[in-house]
């Protein structure tokens, strides 16, 4: 193997938060800037402005949070909070990420119930729904690029992806079975590919 993994904590972040309260406030500010996704704002606030993470640490945290179930940015806020202040930090970060945005979105939902009959508002929501579908298509298309470096190679990736779409979107199969079945298949295929790459570098 010709890969030399750099030690993740070789260069540590320049600054640390003073208290869980500071983490709560930072994550609240961060979340309130995130329309249609928080990740880009998180990178800017936590790495560029606060300096709590280096760029490398941010990438590492994101990789790990993608591997775990749960929303990636939520998992990253938990990891960062836990690293500085244990479970108190984790709770403070999580609450910062969720509390104020939750109040806002529920107020919007309650208002929508009241004004649902208004044609302009119904139309606006319909237009926003179409954009939401477009954003999701774009995100899926962007993430296709991440499969290029997949150890399995293009054909197994394409087949696994297409099988997922067919089972979930077309045939409406339960997600549990699809994830366990195709996930196990993918794990086996990737395991074999990685073993092969180790034997013949």
Partner 1 sequence: MTGGLPLADLAELFVRFVTLSLLSIGGAMSTAPEMHRFLVRDRGWLDDGEFTTAIALAQAAPGPNLLFVPVLGYQVAGLTGAAAALIGILLPSTLLTLTVTRWGRTRRDTPAVRAFTGGLAPVTVGLLFSTAWVLALPFVREPAHRAGAVVLIAITVVLMLRTRLSPIWLIALGALAGATGWV
- Whole-number minimum distance, CB 113 to partner 1, in Å? 6
Closest distance between partner 1 and the C-beta of residue 88, in Å? 12
Residue with tokens 């640390």: 16
Vertex 68, ends 62 and 69: CA angle to 5°?
120
The CA-to-CA distance between both ends of the chain, in Å, stands at 6
d(CA 188, CA 183): 9
Q: Smallest gap, in angstroms, from Cβ of residue 27 to partner 1?
A: 10
Query: Site for partner 1 (CB under 8 A): which residue of 35, 117, 199, 200?
Result: 35
93 binds partner 1 (CB under 8 A): no
The only residue of 109, 117, 199, 200 in contact with partner 1, by rule CB under 8 A: 109
- Provide, rounded to whole angstroms, the least separation between the CB of residue 29 and partner 1: 10
Interface map 180-199 toward partner 1 (x if CB under 8 A)? --xx-xxxxxxx-xxx--x-
Q: What is the footprint of partner 1 within residues 68-87 (CB under 8 A)? A: 68-75, 78-79, 82-83, 87
Question: Could you identify the residue written with the tokens 């997922």?
Answer: 164
Residue 192: φ, ψ to 5° = -65, -45
From 113, 117, 200, 201, residue interacting with partner 1 (rule: CB under 8 A): 113
Q: Is 39 helix (H, G, I), strand (E, B) or coil?
A: helix
Q: State how far the Cα of 37 lies from the Cα of 196, in Å rounded to an integer.
A: 38
Minimum CB distance to partner 1, residue 189 (Å): 6
Cα gap 71→74, rounded to integer Å: 5
Q: Does 66 bind partner 1 (CB under 8 A)?
A: yes
User: What DSSP designation does 149 have?
Assistant: G
Q: Per CB under 8 A, does 4 bind partner 1? A: no
Residue 97 in contact with partner 1, rule: CB under 8 A: yes
Nearer to partner 1, 21 or 106 (CB): 106
Furthest-apart CA atoms within the chain: distance in Å: 65
143 binds partner 1 (CB under 8 A): yes
Report, in Å, the least distance between residue 28 CB and partner 1: 9
Provide the 8-state DSSP code for 5. Answer: P
């Amino acid at each position: 193997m010709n890969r030399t993994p750099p030690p993740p904590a070789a260069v540590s972040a320049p600054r640390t938060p003073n208290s869980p309260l500071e983490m709560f406030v930072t994550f609240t500010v961060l979340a309130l800037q995130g329309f249609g996704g928080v990740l880009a704002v998180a990178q800017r606030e936590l790495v560029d402005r606060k300096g709590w993470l280096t760029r490398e640490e941010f990438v590492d945290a994101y990789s790990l949070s993608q591997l775990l179930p749960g929303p990636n940015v939520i998992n990253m806020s938990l990891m960062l909070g836990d690293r500085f202040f244990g479970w108190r930090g984790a709770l403070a970060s999580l609450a910062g990420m969720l509390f104020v945005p939750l109040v806002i979105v529920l107020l919007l939902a309650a208002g929508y119930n009241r004004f649902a009959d208004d044609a302009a508002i119904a139309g606006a929501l319909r237009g926003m729904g179409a954009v939401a579908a477009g954003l999701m298509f774009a995100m899926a298309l962007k993430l296709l690029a991440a499969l290029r470096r997949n150890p399995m190679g293009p054909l197994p990736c394409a087949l696994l992806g297409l099988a997922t779409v067919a089972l979930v979107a077309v045939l409406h199969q339960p997600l549990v079975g699809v994830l366990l079945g195709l996930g196990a298949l993918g794990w086996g295929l990737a395991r074999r590919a990685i073993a092969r790459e180790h034997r013949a570098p």
